[in-house]
Amino acid sequence: MRQFSHFESRTRLVGLGLLGLGLLLMGRLFYLQIEQFFHYRTLADENRITVRPVPPPRGLIYDRRGRLLVENQPAFALELYPEKVDEPSRVFDRLVEVLPAASAHREQMKKRLAESPRYQPAVILNKLTTEQVSKFAAQQHRFPSIRIRARSQRNYLKGARTAHVLGYLGSPNRGDFREFDPDLYPHGARLGKMGLEREYEKLLHGAPGLREVETDAFGRVVRELSTESPEPGKNLILTLDQDLQAAAHEALAPYKEASAVALDPDTGGILAMASRPTFNPNEFIGGFTSATWDKLRQDPDEPLVNRAIQGLYPPASTIKPVLALAGLREEAVDPSTELTCNGTFNTGQDDHTFHCWKTRGHGPMTVDQAVVESCDVYFYKLADRLGIDPIHEALDAFGLGAPTGVDLPGERRGLNPDPQWKRRNRGTVWYPGETIMTSIGQGYMQATPLQLGTLTAALANGGHRVTPHLVHGIQDPVTRKVDYREPEKTPIDLVDEESLQLVRDSMRRVVGSLHGTAHSIAGGWIPVAGKTGTAQVVRIDRDREEQLDPEEKARKLRDHALFLAFAPVEDPQIAVAVVVEHGISGGKSAARVARYIIDSYFGGKP
């Protein structure tokens, strides 16, 4: 009897327990299905069907002869699914054991993971080699949260040679999205950060497609429901010649900081644009460590700066042909007028003496001789006769002090000063001595190598200002149809044919005459016209300067060397501007670079 009573008690306890569990389960079911019905139905509807972007193939870039400069190539990356990771540091530790090279990217991997949406994979490591892919695949079972993904990435076939022209891709930031539609750039997408990649981003990028998929609770794709194909980006066909681009870099190789631009004088098409120092844009693919980026940005030689459009230099004597045209137009001189150079000049309005580069003077000089021998005193006296306004007008007509309109981001406008500019910016009056300094391209004046290149083109093409450009045509990658750009040319009113011919003949003799300042590059089967310039960087007491050998000066105190040229003289097909920072003499270093580029263009390297 007692045994039965004990059994009955146990049965009741079990029954009560089961009843309690049943009530608890029913309560939970009531809460989930009744109380939270609308909440979970909404979550289920939103999570079950997901629309994901399909990245478009980025447009390709070709040189003027149809040779590929930038391509898209398959690459491998590691993607980490954030929802499957509780302790990222442990995952990264194990990853470094398998791929030791990942240790250098550890902080970057953490940053990418932190920035990634919870249910979207984060690209934590790019540019995997075939060996790395094999190693990771063999250990895949240790990394349930990481997958290998094949993707497309840029390959800059000419590397550092075209870096400043083409630019590179990078991850978008908030500043980018003020210019570009963020809906076109899902997480992990890249956009142009510099050069043509930036300038033509909207054309090169294309439009992403859409992929409607069903996902599970962890955001993983269960099946694909529908797909809308992306629209590929447009291809660019450039005016650039890859062989001449290589020659320009080769010519600049002996110099630490320099730039060169070569243009078609009739169209403004840029045939070559080189800047030193440079960088390898392929290192930007997929990102790199913060240490590498800091090293590039903090390099005092500024390898990321495109000196052709962002370097500002006193144009020095390279503007003397334009001053000669202004003097002839204003009838301040005529072709036979002689002005005597005894080595110095004083305006008579103060006690400052201006010196010619030739300390003993040149003697009597005509305008032709003054251009050939680059006589400073002749142009001091010419400027004194003209005054600043006609000089400013002439330089403005040739494009100095204004953007050229080149299809590259970041172009600087330079400076063509006048009394109004000084009053606005310095709050003081213009002095006669400043007109004198302007006449030899010193003082406040600043110009980019590209501005000097377009000035040269105008002298070569008969007096037309051209708009320099790199993109010749835009190609539809599907139909292969190309829309070509029409050249933009504007006649320069102050140029008359007779005066221009005199100046062009003088530039020919700058190279061809024994007295010419660029006689060192005379010879060769292509006749070249040119103008030298030597821009003073730091003012040094003249007595002290005469005691110093230029080679003995600290490099940063040495003068900049400039040279403008066009060829052939009678039928110009190329215009070149070269600046060698601290190159000492335009007639030597810069002129030799220009000669090499011109000879290379016509097929005969010196």
Label residues 22-50 b or e (16+ Cβ within 10 Å = b).
eeeeeeeeeeeeeeeeeeeeeeeeeeeeb
Helix (H, G, I), strand (E, B) or coil at 161: helix
- Please choose, from the candidates 574, 568, 60, the residue with its C-alpha nearest in 3D space to the C-alpha of residue 270: 574
In whole angstroms, what separates CA 210 from the centre of its chain? Answer: 32
Phi-psi region of 524 (alpha: psi -120 to 50; beta: other; left: phi over 0): left
Name beta bridge partners: 156: 70
| Nearest in space to 255 (alpha carbons), one of 535, 603, 594 | 594
User: What is the rounded distance in angstroms from the CA atom of residue 528 to the CA atom of residue 570?
Assistant: 9
317 as an active site residue: the answer is yes
Rounded alpha-carbon distances, angstroms, from residue 523 to 190, 276, 595: 50, 28, 10
E strand residue ranges, 496-584:
529-535, 560-567, 574-580
* Alpha-carbon gap, residue 305 to 311, rounded angstroms: 8
Q: Strands 191-192, 146-156: parallel, antiparallel or unpaired by DSSP?
A: unpaired
CA separation (Å) from 591 to 455, 486, 585?
17, 32, 9
Contact (Cβ atoms closer than 8 angstroms) between residue 227 and residue 209 = yes
Q: Which residue has the tokens 């003027």?
A: 64
Q: Could you give the CA distance from residue 553 to residue 429 in angstroms, rounded to a whole number?
A: 35
CB 449 within 8 A of CB 406: no
* First-last CA distance in the chain: 122
Active-site choice (275, 317, 439, 589): 317
Positions annotated as catalytic residues are: 317
